[in-house]
Structure formats: structure tokens, C-alpha cells
Amino acid sequence: MQNLSFKKVTQKILNKIIEENKQFLIPSNNSNIKYLFKINDLLISIYNTNTLLIQGKKALEFSLKYNLKDHKINKVVNKFITLPNIGCDEVGVGDFFGPLITCCAYVERDFEIKYPTLLAEITDSKKITDINIYNLFEKIKDKVIWEIYILENKKYNQAFDIYKNTHILKAICHNQALKRLFRNNNNLKEIPIIMDQFASEKNYYNYLIDQEIIIKDIHFETKAESKYLSVACASIIARYHFLESIKDLEKEYNVKLPLGASNNVKEYVNKYKAEMKDKVTSFTKMHFNSKK
């Protein structure tokens, strides 16, 4: 599905679109939309600001019909693909310290129109400094619907002893987050789900074979956080909670927990394994190789 947005469309072109498609005019609950048209699988929104949003498989064909190729496409909108959807991502997989956290985030259709400045700031959390993660979380936390699932270190280590596969743990945690989302938001069950791919679709569902409830019909795509706004939001929300978890663990156990898996981090791991044998499993992923 295509999602094209054009800013400052001339009134002449807008009038032509309105006149030629008036039989397809439908009501809109969004006060920012002046005209809303449903033409087969196409949805055309004309905003009060003379922004034109075209959504559907034949969006490009429609835009060419009205000679919109000469208008500037809003590149910020086209940074991401087709809203609304639910994005899924995880953090903590490559860190010795801290839990595994998965997040799913629903982003509404009009997000890019309502929050264009914020949209320009959102990207994959791995490309954002920790300070900006905190700032962005505060900005988006009330603008999207989200759920997280935290697999704390002690339970993580117990689960890994059973499954011996981090992909299985990720799949289980993603499934848990999605179950929470739909349990609390039954109206979202028909919304498309996109997951940043870490395993094939077949393997993902095989990993969940012993789960009582399995959320299905997920679209898997590599580097989804750079293509889907919802996945980028999920990565930011998950990263925020991971950083908070690290802070809480440092305070609770009076330790320093650097991020990642570098040799410097391994020095801390080996120190804690030697000096805090009774507590180290509560903040460390024990299956990681700490040999330098």
C-alpha cells in the first residue's frame, strides 16, 4: 500500500479533485480534514492546510492523474509506510546486563499530520542518544498506544536454561506484549502488525508452539524501524524502559552496569561473577561468553 502526502496543493487542483469525486465524499471525525473521499481502496484526505494525503495501492496513479508530480512530496511522511499499524521491536538482546524488553506500539492514521515536527525526530532508537531517548519518550508516550513486556534477568536466565535459544525468548516476549495490547485494546485486533524481523515467519511461530495463545498474521521485515513509524516508536519506548531498568538494578545492587558487550563490560561481568555469586544472576545474562 502506498502513502503519499503533498503539501500546499493549489486550490485549483483541490477544487478539481473535489468536483470530480464528490460522489465518493464521506464524513470525517477529524476536525483537521476538510474533505474525505473513499474511492474503492483509495482514501483521499484534504486537510485545512491544503495538505493532500492519498492512501491505497493506486495512490501514485491518482496523484499523476491530477498532475501532482510537480508538487513537493512531504518526505517526512514517506519516511514511513502506511498508517495505521502496530510495530514491534525489542532491546537488551546484545547487552550483558539488564533485562530483555519487547514493545508493541499502535500509531494512528493521522499521526504524521498532527505531529509533523515530532515525526522528523523519530528514528531507530539505536541512532538516538540516551538523553534524546528520554526526551522522545516523554513526547510520544501519550500519542501512541503501547505495551511492553520485561523479562527480568533471573527469569531470563531460567528461560534460557530451558530453551537454549535467544530467538525463542524474543518470540515469547513479543507474543506476551501483543497479548497485553489486545487484551487492553480490543478495537485494535484488526490493525496490521509489523515486526522487526529476527527470524523467519515459520520459525517465529514454531518458537511459540507451546504457548497457549499465539498472536498471528504478523508481517516480518528487516530494518523495519527505519521504514515503519510504529516500529521506530516501539524501539524508543523499549529503549527508555531498558535504560530505566539499568538504573534500578544499579541502585538495588549497588553496582555499575555499563551497556553492551565490549571487553570493558566483560571485566565488570567477571568481577561480579567472582564477588557477587549470589546476586549476579539478577542483573546479568549468564549464557553470554565473558572471556576476552
CA–CA distance, 124 with 151 (Å, rounded to integer): 22
CA–CA distance, 223 with 192 (Å, rounded to integer): 17
CA–CA distance, 86 with 105 (Å, rounded to integer): 5
Residue 19 assigned ligand-binding role: no
Residue 90 assigned ligand-binding role: yes
CA distances for 208 relative to 171, 176, 202, angstroms: 7, 11, 10
CA–CA distance, 108 with 100 (Å, rounded to integer): 27
Residue 142 assigned ligand-binding role: no
Q: Which residues are annotated as a binding site?
A: 89-90, 196
Q: Which residues are part of a known binding site for a divalent metal cation?
A: 89-90, 196
